[in-house]
Amino acid sequence: MAEWWRGSVTYQIYPRSFQDANGDGDGDLAGITRRLPYLADLGVDAIWLSPVFVSPMADMGYDVSDYTDIDPRFGSLADFDAMVARAHELGLKVIIDQVLSHSSSEHPHFIESRGSRDNPKSDWYVWADPKHDGSPPNNWLSIFGGGAWQWETRRRQYYLHNFLAEQPDFNFHNPDVQDWLLSTMRFWLDRGVDGFRLDTVNFYFHDKLLRDDPADFRVKDKPEWNPYGMQYHLFSKNQPENLPFLERMRKLLDEYEARAMVGEMGESHHAIRMMGEYTTGKRLHKCYSFEMLGDGFSAAHFRRQIDEFFTGAPGGWPTWAFSNHDVVRHVTRWSKQGLSDEALAKLAGALLLSLQGSICVYQGEELGQTETDLEFFELDDPQGKRFWPENKGRDGCRTPMVWDNAEASSGFSTGRPWLPIKGPQAARHVAGQLGDPDSVLELYRRMLRLRRETEALRTGRTTFFDTSEPVLAFLRGAEVICVFNLSPETHEVTLTGAGALAISENAERTGDRLKLHPNGFALFEAVGEVSVADGPAAAVS
């Protein structure tokens, strides 16, 4: 099916933390292959692997030094091919991360580029002369703190790095750079991958004039924990030249059957609008942002994201996620609402898998996994080390997958895991939830099966009902009524047109009344004219 990606559910694997097959404490490709039947049984359509390319691991693989080979810690190209073949046998698509905006400073092209101003790769990265006082050419900032320019003595110039200094930015204004990066994508397409997750897809081009980014008017007197958030990134990224390059990428993928791309909209003041712009026409197939990966947890918040996208970009297609490898896990993030972890995990799973768009589930999310509380000495993430203790970084969501109750490492490895598995996480293991009808895992399995079997949940348009906080209610297509209570208190609504119950949790229906206990939700078959209104005695129009 050419548009398998539309409404699909992708499971994100963080390879170093999924399954270790050789006992060295690091997850690997052979381990992923071993666990693929679990994912097929779970009911997802595709897997997405965070980077497994050769890398010095300054930023955990998002600093690539060889785009066409596998880092030995994960295995070999043969292991990769075996994993893809097994995934396809099980009916799973395989999507791999592509980090195109920057490379590792150890990449041969950068080593050559930094050597002089007149070598064949001299303009493959973004170089600029200092100002007359020796300072950087402008005020652009790095996401990892401090300025985005690093001095290189050999060239007597600065180079741009939007992330770590070990991650120099490619110069996309050079067509040779574009051509070469597209060739690396072709390499993996020829090996049988079904598509790409594109890291920081709005960072590719920079302003040629190197104009200063203005201050962000939303930041008042108190500085952000990361000064990057104090600028409006008008020139360092989000450039219009990105769009023609996306069209070049789409043209490449269209040479192959049923391939797809999903882009990460990395921090933008207009993320939802840009998601639509990047997925309209012959550009990306789908795109996601961090709008649902933050603290926002209300009926109005979720409704606003869906409404804004499909109103502003009716021809585009979004991907929604609640957790990933860069943010605090949503069960921990939203637990401040006073909700219990188990009930919140089930509510979030049912809500996410009811949304219009494509869906991404992060490993362990289906277990109700929570953020790991790490000490400073346990950190590996450069962001955590840089901004501790105000921000503890991303390692807390990257700790290993827990498969069983084995004392050593919960079935992840026979050796010592690269990040610790602590008690609260170890308690939420696969073996303890599989087959338990009351578990978070079995709720995810039921919801995934329902989404796969119900076309309206995959592609049907969304019609919201005007219920009051904290109740979120909507119709998918003309077939499924979805009602959620996003609070720790009981609320009631009046239903009309609700037929057979599809799935529910902490909810009671009596005639046309639906009582939603804390974190309760229910999905019904729609029959005839449908309405959802506040309260048991509310008038229904």
Together in a domain, 188 and 294 = yes
pLDDT-derived band at 537, boundaries 50, 70, 90:
very low
Q: What does the alpha-carbon distance between residue 535 and residue 420 come to, in Å, rounded to a whole number?
A: 47
Look at residue 220 in the predicted model and tell me its pLDDT.
62
390, 420, 451 — which closes off a domain?
451
Together in a domain, 295 and 438 = yes
Annotated active-site residue in 26, 45, 71, 199: 199
199 is catalytic: yes
Together in a domain, 416 and 475 = no
> Does any domain span residue 151?
no
539 or 45: which carries more pLDDT confidence?
Answer: 45
Together in a domain, 445 and 471 = no
Together in a domain, 414 and 481 = no
Tell me the HSE value of 286 on the side-chain side, using a 13 A CA sphere: 26
> Does any domain span residue 142?
no
What is the token pair recorded at 439?
């578990």
Burial classification of residue 378, based on how many CB atoms lie within 10 Å of its CB (0-12 exposed, 13-18 middle, 19 or more buried): middle
Quote the domain boundaries for residue 484: 461-534
Look at residue 470 in the predicted model and tell me its pLDDT.
96
Together in a domain, 430 and 286 = yes
Query: Directed axis angle between helix 271-279 and helix 242-253, to 10°?
Result: 40
High-pLDDT (> 90) share of the chain, %: 88
Q: What angle do CA 146, 149, 154 make, to 5 degrees?
A: 135
Together in a domain, 51 and 192 = yes
> Does any domain span residue 131?
no
pLDDT-derived band at 536, boundaries 50, 70, 90:
low
What does pLDDT average to over the chain?
95
High-pLDDT (> 70) share of the chain, %: 97
> Does any domain span residue 155?
no
How many residues does the structure list for the chain?
A: 541
Q: How would you label 32-56 residue by residue, b for 16+ Cβ within 10 Å and e otherwise?
A: bbbbbeebbebbbbbbbbbbbbbbe
Q: What does the alpha-carbon distance between residue 242 and residue 251 come to, in Å, rounded to a whole number?
A: 14
Mean pLDDT of 120-126: 98
Q: The domain that contains 388 carries what CATH number?
A: 3.20.20.80
Which string of DSSP letters, residue by residue, matches 346-387? HHHHHHHTTSSSEEEEETTGGGT-------GGG---HHHHHH
> Is pLDDT above 80 for 346?
yes
Together in a domain, 266 and 410 = yes
Look at residue 386 in the predicted model and tell me its pLDDT.
85
Together in a domain, 268 and 409 = yes
Together in a domain, 389 and 492 = no
Mean pLDDT of 290-306: 95
pLDDT-derived band at 2, boundaries 50, 70, 90:
confident
Mean pLDDT of 343-365: 98
Q: The domain that contains 474 carries what CATH number?
A: 2.60.40.1180
> Does any domain span residue 23?
yes
Annotated active-site residue in 255, 375, 390, 529: 255
Together in a domain, 466 and 433 = no
Q: What is the pLDDT of residues 139-192, one digit of tens each?
A: 999 999 999 999 999 999 999 999 999 999 999 999 999 999 999 999 999 999
Look at residue 47 in the predicted model and tell me its pLDDT.
98
Which string of DSSP letters, residue by residue, matches 230-295? GB--SSSS--TTHHHHHHHHHHHHTTSTT-EEEEE--S-TTHHHHHHHHHSSSS-SEEE-STTSSS
> Does any domain span residue 253?
yes
Structural domains counted in the chain? 2
> Does any domain span residue 289?
yes
391, 424, 451 — which closes off a domain?
451
Look at residue 223 in the predicted model and tell me its pLDDT.
67
| Cβ–Cβ < 8 Å for 231, 158 | no
Q: What is the pLDDT of residues 243-272, one digit of tens each?
A: 999 999 999 999 999 999 999 998 778 899
> Is pLDDT above 60 for 219?
yes
> Is pLDDT above 80 for 218?
no
451, 484, 509 — which closes off a domain?
451
255 is catalytic: yes
Look at residue 256 in the predicted model and tell me its pLDDT.
98
Look at residue 392 in the predicted model and tell me its pLDDT.
86
Query: Which of 223, 254, 231, 244 is CA-nearest to residue 3?
Result: 254
Together in a domain, 358 and 470 = no
pLDDT-derived band at 377, boundaries 50, 70, 90:
confident
> Does any domain span residue 135?
no
- Give the N- to C-terminal CA distance of the chain in Å, as an integer: 41
| Cβ–Cβ < 8 Å for 141, 76 | no
